[in-house]
């Protein structure tokens, strides 16, 4: 089977799809992975065929766009902000800019199936325009139909400009869903109602050595602080998180990114370790709580290891994730860094948080493997 995977150029969008793409290739499928030119390096050592779609982004233009988006979203609630961002920016600007190149590649390579994700609508539209079936791959929690309604209006407009009067219905499109059912609210009209659960193999526990960064720490309990790969350079946020825990009797391990500058944190006491990068699968078995922004990979990784969370949401669907973590009792959500100290104290003191996180870990472990999902896709 010839499969085209596609994700935006952000590593946090691309990485969740790699386990399924690699499993497909290992099982004999012909696989290509399409993404933005900035992300080619992320695929360099995977063994997958990497396809560059669209033009490199201009950092100055991107900064101006995000500032305009922030201005436009002032006064909106979290769902309205997410809806606006996806519709007007991810689809109206991002997908529109890549769509013709994506259509050309899909038409020439002619995959049997396109597998895209929430933030990559160019591949979805290209599949519809060329007449190739597609599946949607999760990169976070599934989205409500109401949240995505405006995005589909924008997408319909792009399709009509290219001669397709109406996009096909989504009722039978498989949504490959690695989000634990324990977090998902009930009674929601989902954008993609045909949800196929599967295990997020990129974040589940794997055997490996204990990181050296944990050696010689003072206290019995350890808190991991991270803003993932996209938001770790936001000025002042990680610094405020660290400051909130500086005087707590817990070890604090902070990852700031491979290009992160340790000097921005100044001198720290011995129980606080500032590290550029540690694979979270190596670190999570040895920590007692995770403080983060609500990025999907961090949240799933923590829960797959049975570790409770403190979530300080910053953007996009982080607020949705924070609400789900809080609602499931797998952690605490805070509105600012001012609440982090009390929240960490709460999740460490109340065993319910750890027990809930452990129950979610068991649920994740029982989800179908990639091979099961691939077999279902081939049999459609």
Instruction: From first to last of the 380 residues of the chain, give the pLDDT tens digit.
Output: 999 999 988 888 999 999 999 999 999 999 999 999 999 999 999 999 999 999 988 888 888 888 898 899 999 999 999 999 999 999 999 999 999 999 999 999 999 999 999 889 999 999 999 999 999 999 999 999 999 999 999 999 999 999 999 999 999 999 999 999 999 999 999 999 999 999 999 899 988 899 999 999 999 999 999 998 776 767 789 999 999 999 999 999 999 988 888 888 899 999 999 999 999 999 999 999 999 999 999 999 999 999 999 999 998 899 999 999 999 999 999 999 999 999 999 999 999 999 999 999 999 999 999 999 999 999 98
**Cα–Cα distance for residue pair 180/138, rounded to 1 Å:** 11
For the chain, the C-alpha Rg in angstroms (whole number) is 21
Environment class of 108 (CB within 10 Å of its CB; exposed 0-12, middle 13-18, buried 19+):
exposed
Question: DSSP alpha helices (H): ranges in the chain?
Answer: 11-14, 18-26, 40-43, 59-73, 78-84, 96-109, 121-130, 145-161, 237-245, 280-283, 296-304, 318-328, 340-349, 351-365, 370-379
For residue 263, the model assigns a pLDDT of: 87
**Cα–Cα distance for residue pair 374/207, rounded to 1 Å:** 25
For residue 108, the model assigns a pLDDT of: 98
For residue 126, the model assigns a pLDDT of: 98
Strand pairing report for 272-275 and 251-255: parallel
For residue 369, the model assigns a pLDDT of: 94
Fold of 212-365: Rossmann fold (3.40.50)
Residue by residue, DSSP assigns 306-369 as T--EEE---STTHHHHHHHHHHHTSEEE-SSGGGHHHHHHHHHH-HHHHHHHHHHHHHHHTSPP
2-197 belongs to CATH 2.60.120.200: no
Identify any residues that bridge with 325 across adjacent strands, giving them in sequence order: none
Q: What is the per-residue pLDDT across 325-355, written as a single tens digit (0 to 9) for each?
A: 999 999 999 999 999 999 999 999 999 999 9
- Strands lying side by side in the sheet with 331-333: 272-275, 251-255, 222-226, 289-292, 309-311, 331-333
How distant, in Å, are the alpha carbons of 68, 82, 83, 212, 270 from that of 144?
25, 11, 10, 42, 45
For residue 362, the model assigns a pLDDT of: 97
Residue count of the chain, please give it. 380
Chain-centroid distance of CA 155 in Å reads 22
For residue 2, the model assigns a pLDDT of: 98
Which token pair is 333? 């959500």
Q: DSSP character for 140?
A: S
For residue 229, the model assigns a pLDDT of: 76
Nearest Cα to Cα of residue 336 among 353, 317, 314 = 314
Nearest Cα to Cα of residue 356 among 308, 296, 287, 300 = 308
Domain parsing of the chain, residue ranges: 2-197, 212-365
Please identify which residue in the block is written with the tokens 């206290």. Answer: 219
For residue 51, the model assigns a pLDDT of: 97
For residue 146, the model assigns a pLDDT of: 96
Report helix, strand or coil for 291: strand
For residue 223, the model assigns a pLDDT of: 98
Q: What is the per-residue pLDDT across 10-54, written as a single tens digit (0 to 9) for each?
A: 888 999 999 999 999 999 999 999 999 999 999 999 999 999 999
pTM listed for this prediction? 0.93
Query: Is-contact 137 116, C-beta < 8 A?
Result: yes
Same fold, 2-197 and 212-365: yes
**Cα–Cα distance for residue pair 291/274, rounded to 1 Å:** 14
For residue 176, the model assigns a pLDDT of: 98
């Amino acid at each position: 089977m010839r499969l085209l995977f596609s994700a935006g150029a952000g590593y946090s969008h691309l990485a969740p799809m790699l386990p399924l793409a690699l499993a497909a290739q290992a099982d004999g499928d012909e696989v290509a992975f399409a993404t933005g030119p900035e992300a080619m390096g992320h695929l360099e050592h995977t063994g997958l065929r990497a396809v560059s779609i669209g033009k490199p982004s201009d950092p100055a233009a991107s900064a101006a766009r995000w500032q305009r988006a922030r201005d436009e979203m002032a006064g909106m609630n979290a769902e309205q902000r997410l809806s606006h961002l996806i519709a007007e920016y991810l689809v109206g600007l991002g997908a529109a800019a890549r769509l013709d190149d994506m259509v050309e590649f899909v038409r020439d390579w002619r995959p049997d199936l396109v597998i895209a994700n929430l933030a990559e609508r160019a591949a979805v539209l290209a599949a519809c325009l060329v007449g190739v079936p597609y599946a949607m791959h999760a990169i976070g929690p599934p989205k409500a139909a109401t949240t995505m309604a405006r995005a589909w209006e924008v997408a319909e407009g792009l399709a009509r400009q290219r001669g397709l009067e109406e996009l096909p219905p989504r009722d039978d499109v498989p949504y490959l869903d690695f989000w634990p059912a324990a977090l998902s609210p009930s009674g929601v009209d989902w954008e993609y109602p045909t949800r196929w659960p599967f295990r997020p193999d990129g974040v589940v526990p794997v055997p490996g050595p204990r990181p050296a960064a944990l050696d010689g720490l003072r206290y019995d309990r350890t808190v991991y602080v991270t803003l993932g790969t996209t938001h770790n350079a936001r000025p002042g946020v990680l610094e405020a998180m660290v400051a909130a825990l500086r005087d707590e009797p817990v070890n604090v391990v902070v990852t700031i990114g491979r290009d992160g500058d340790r000097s921005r944190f100044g001198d720290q006491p011995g129980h606080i370790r500032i590290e550029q990068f540690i694979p979270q699968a190596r670190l999570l078995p040895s920590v007692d709580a995770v403080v983060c922004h609500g990025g999907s990979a961090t949240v799933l990784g923590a829960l797959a290891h049975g570790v409770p969370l403190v979530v300080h949401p910053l953007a996009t669907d982080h607020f949705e994730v924070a609400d789900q973590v809080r609602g499931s009792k797998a952690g605490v959500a805070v509105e600012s860094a001012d609440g982090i100290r009390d929240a960490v104290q709460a999740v460490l003191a109340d065993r319910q948080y750890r027990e809930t996180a452990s129950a979610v870990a068991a649920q994740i472990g029982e989800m179908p493997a990639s091979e099961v999902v691939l077999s279902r896709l081939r049999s459609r």
